[in-house]
Amino acid sequence: MATSRKPGSKTAPKKNVSGQSSARNSDSAAAKAPRRGTGDLLAKQAADVEATVAALPFNENKAAEHGRQQATMPPEGTEIIPPSPLVSASTLAESNESAKVGTRADAGANPTVGSLDRVRVDGSGQRLTTNQGVPVADNQNSLKAGLRGPALLKDFILREKITHFDHERIPERIVHARGSAAHGYFESYKKHTKLTRAAPFQEAGKITPVFVRFSTVAGERGSKDTARDVRGFAVKFYTDEGNWDLVGNNMPVFFIQDAMKFPDLVHAVKPEPHHAMPQAASAHDTFWDFVSLMPESTHMLMWLMSDRAIPRSYRMMQGFGVHTFRFVNDQGQSCFVKFHWTPLQGTHALLWDEAVKISGCDPDYHRRDLWEAIEAGAYPEWELGVQVFSEQDAERFSFDILDATKIVPEELVPITPLGRMVLNRNPDNFFAETEQVAFCTAHVIPGIDFTNDPLLAGRIHSYVDTQLSRLGGPNFHEIPINAPIAPVHNNQRDGLHRQAIHRGKVAYEPNSLGGGCPFQAGAAGFVSFPEPVEQDEVRGKPEKFAEHFNQAALFFNSQRPVEQAHIVAAFRFELSKLTVPAIRQRVVSMLRNASEDLAAQVADGLGMTLPEPMPRALPKPPKAEVTSSEALSMFALPGQVGVATRKVAIFVGDGVDGEQVAAAQKALVKAGAVGRLIGPRVGAFSAADGSQIDADASFENEPSVLFDGVILPDGEGTAKAWARDGRAGEFVKDQFRHLKTILALGEAVAFVEGAGVLRDEEDAGLLLHSDPPKGAIASFLEALAKHKHFERETDPPLL
């Protein structure tokens, strides 16, 4: 417990003129402090400081710095309660207020943390000013010598505006540069104190604010959203015990086992340095050269070549902590933990052809999808679950839980739900929040601790280091989006763009001049788990790290046939882009150790003979506990929201059946889907009943790939008009090729067939009704809920 006491109080009615005089010097003092009760503030301050310091004749906690017991249960620091606020004052002039300096700081206050309301700005009803608050009379013209004369250097308004503009950009992130984010909250299902003392899990229903950023990894800040890539899934919990950053991905493993190789990996996947191509793509020589010489990457390559790498939406992908962490409860007991985010919307993906086309017509596809869903009140939701296991369990596994290229199959350790996360507010300003947010794996709170994962160890260092460069110095924690809601008090001072104005002369600990404050929290603070370490200092890897292919095989064997076909096609495409055939040979030889069938199909698709299998680093690998896991297929999570937020195109034109259009719109709105009227152009069309229908999209500005399904109503002459527009036919063909739900009514059936759609009575999701039945819209919605109709897929596509 903290030693907390008040110093003794002595007063003297007699005036001490010499003491008052001495108190006016800042470079030396008399042998005795001035007595109190003279009515002189300087003397009183000196007397109160003396009394506070005298109350701590020695460091009472010094003996407690030694020994194991004190290391695991450190004592709280000593606090001396000063006789008056004068003790901690920087200046006695703090009582002189103004509109700028305000008053003195409240005891224990730090206004740089807390709600973002303290920095939100709204210019409604306000006149334009400079950054110095000077009203701007003319914001249209620079200051010139005459109407046609030269611009003048003394135009400070122009200079400020241009100079600020010239410096508006900051260095982008080396990886995860392209991202989108949202605010929300985490709600704990129940009290989880047996598992951990971490603040978000201490009470049933406890709410913790969060800020979540999703991102691609390889591309630059202006690259496309739909690249084949890993997606970042970073969550900042603003807890009442500080910020906790769970910085993960939408894939549970990674390419490498040790942070030493991270710069090499990133250099390999980034655009090749001699010509800076390709952007946001792994389909090039340097990436595949590197990973084929790093066979531990095989498992991650399976995930990267799967549909997980081209999600339909950020809202429809899982998130993982990747590494094994520790939970620590208030008894100091620890267990291993792996984090899983499961989307309520289910896991759904794009097709590769679809992703490529989307990148051309809307490179902001995922950013727009997240923004629009939140604006519409369709708040994305995920469940946070954990796999919890002991060190004894970990020892029995055939793989090493410190190896970031491995998962713990759910068949060995099931997932325990802890709570849910809801994203319910978009940022007010992209730069101030999404771009300036600083996630860091080193940001943990009491109850969360690290393991000896060698990749995690490097991330703990790297994420802090990169913010120093990107955000301009060590005070990035004071940027509002990064500031915690928990109190912040320490002795860190100064640095570029420092915002906190600290009161008092003390900036060190231990101290007596500040009453010992801020004092160490002791066992109430973060105490690292005392994991025994009895090893030699070496550079190397454990033997279990040498097994590289069991879990790659597990992933491939766990996929549905259509998912396996997509993995084959992805490898085929990526390797076909290489300019060095020998690298293709090496990759396929590596794949033979994971799946002979996969390797054979890839080789056949590249017109090459099957090479010999790559020699294994571990000639006799251990037998895998699990060889197939249903949880690894995206089909395991269809979602719980039906067609909510799905986008549906409704074709319109002059003569369209207005009643069918209205019925379709009404049904879609009721189901939570988004229906858009699309025609040869935007604007009004006359329906068959004489009503006006206003199209808000056209075949030109909203192509097929931006929609999850299409409805083509009946009409007088509309089908013929659509048939004369090649873009309309292309729209329907792409909907069919991309396995989406198509509903055509009346004359629209002939248009669909004329567009080249291969009608088959068995075609799932192809609803063609020359004589529309009553339940046509309901059947469409039922089919739309399946997302895609993979029964129609062929390789190569027939249409």
| Amino acid residing at 744 | A
Give per-residue pLDDT as tens, 278-314.
999 999 999 999 999 999 999 999 999 999 999 999 9
Residues 372 and 332: beta-carbon distance below 8 Å: no
How large is the average pLDDT for residues 87-113? 87
Exposure string (b/e) for 393-423, b if CB count within 10 Å is 16 or more?
Answer: ebeebbbbbbbbbbbbbbebbebeebbbbbb
Residues 767 and 779: beta-carbon distance below 8 Å: yes
- Class of residue 187 by CB neighbours under 10 A (exposed 0-12, middle 13-18, buried 19+): middle
How large is the average pLDDT for residues 648-659? 97
Instruction: Pull the structure tokens for residue 366.
Output: 């995922």
Q: What is the residue whose two structure tokens read 């999701």?
A: 765
CB 639: neighbour CB atoms within 10 A? Answer: 17
pLDDT above 90: residue 162:
yes
Note the pLDDT of residue 14.
Answer: 54
- Cα–Cα distance for residue pair 37/528, rounded to 1 Å: 48
CB 225: neighbour CB atoms within 10 A? Answer: 30
- Cα–Cα distance for residue pair 757/734, rounded to 1 Å: 10
Q: What is the DSSP letter of 432?
A: I
Give per-residue pLDDT as tens, 109-157.
888 898 999 999 999 999 999 999 999 999 999 999 999 999 999 999 9
Taking alpha carbons only, the member of 711, 721, 716, 731 closest to residue 661 is 711
Note the pLDDT of residue 101.
Answer: 84
Instruction: Pull the structure tokens for residue 105.
Output: 């700081």
Q: Rounded to 5, what percent of the chain is helix, strand, coil?
A: 30, 15, 50
* Residues that are catalytic: 176, 249
**Position with higher pLDDT, 60 vs 688:** 688
Note the pLDDT of residue 1.
Answer: 45
Q: Band of the pLDDT at 48, cuts 50, 70, 90?
A: confident
Exposure string (b/e) for 556-590, b if CB count within 10 Å is 16 or more?
Answer: bbbbeebbbbbbbbbbbebbeebeeeebbbbbbbb
pLDDT above 80: residue 622:
yes
Q: Is the peptide bond before 209 cis (omega within 30 degrees of 0)?
A: no
- Which whole-number Å values give the CA distances from 585 to 281, 299, 302, 613, 722, in the listed order? 20, 18, 17, 10, 48
pLDDT above 80: residue 760:
no
Give per-residue pLDDT as tens, 543-601.
999 999 999 999 999 999 999 999 999 999 999 999 999 999 999 999 999 999 999 99
Q: Band of the pLDDT at 33, cuts 50, 70, 90?
A: confident
Exposure string (b/e) for 599-634, b if CB count within 10 Å is 16 or more?
Answer: bebbbebbeeebbebbeeeeeeeeebebebbeebbb
Q: Is 711 helix (H, G, I), strand (E, B) or coil?
A: strand
Tell me how many degrees the CA angle 636-345-485 measures, rounded to the nearest 5. 120
Note the pLDDT of residue 737.
Answer: 95
Exposure string (b/e) for 711-720, b if CB count within 10 Å is 16 or more?
Answer: bbbbbeebbe
How large is the average pLDDT for residues 375-387? 98
- Cα–Cα distance for residue pair 110/619, rounded to 1 Å: 60
DSSP-assigned states of every residue in 627-641:
S--GGGSGGG---SS
Contact residues for 48 (Cβ-Cβ < 8 A; gap 6+):
36, 82, 83, 84, 86, 87
| Mean predicted lDDT score pLDDT of the chain | 94
Give per-residue pLDDT as tens, 712-724.
999 989 999 999 9
- Cα–Cα distance for residue pair 555/546, rounded to 1 Å: 18
Q: Band of the pLDDT at 61, cuts 50, 70, 90?
A: confident
Q: Band of the pLDDT at 3, cuts 50, 70, 90?
A: low
- Cα–Cα distance for residue pair 22/28, rounded to 1 Å: 8
Four-residue CA torsion sign, 163, 164, 168, 171:
positive
% the chain with pLDDT above 70: 98
% the chain with pLDDT above 90: 81
Give per-residue pLDDT as tens, 179-234.
999 999 999 999 999 999 999 999 999 999 999 999 999 999 999 999 999 999 99
Taking alpha carbons only, the member of 532, 791, 778, 567 closest to residue 668 is 778
What's the gap between Cα 41 and its chain centre? 53
Domains of the chain: 4-91 (no CATH), 179-478 (2.40.180.10), 545-636 (1.20.1370.20), 647-792 (3.40.50.880)
Contact residues for 277 (Cβ-Cβ < 8 A; gap 6+):
271, 284
Instruction: Pull the structure tokens for residue 295.
Output: 């066979």
Q: Band of the pLDDT at 10, cuts 50, 70, 90?
A: low
DSSP-assigned states of every residue in 552-565:
HHHHHHTS-HHHHH
Side-chain-side CA neighbours of residue 571 (13 Å): 32
Note the pLDDT of residue 24.
Answer: 81
**Position with higher pLDDT, 763 vs 384:** 384
pLDDT above 70: residue 8:
no
Residues 678 and 698: beta-carbon distance below 8 Å: yes
Instruction: Pull the structure tokens for residue 367.
Output: 């950013």
Lowest pLDDT segment from 305-319, 695-709, 730-744, 746-760: 746-760
Q: Band of the pLDDT at 40, cuts 50, 70, 90?
A: confident
- Cα–Cα distance for residue pair 382/317, rounded to 1 Å: 9
Parallel, antiparallel, or unpaired: how do β-strands 674-679 and 647-651 relate? parallel
Residues 231 and 431: beta-carbon distance below 8 Å: no
For the packed helices 776-784 and 658-671, what is the interaxial angle rounded to 10 degrees? Answer: 40
Q: Band of the pLDDT at 63, cuts 50, 70, 90?
A: confident
- Phi, psi for 60 (deg, rounded to 5): -70, -20
Note the pLDDT of residue 29.
Answer: 78
Q: Give this prediction's pTM.
A: 0.94
Contact residues for 598 (Cβ-Cβ < 8 A; gap 6+):
556, 564, 567, 568, 571, 591
pLDDT above 80: residue 17:
no
Instruction: Pull the structure tokens for residue 112.
Output: 């740089």
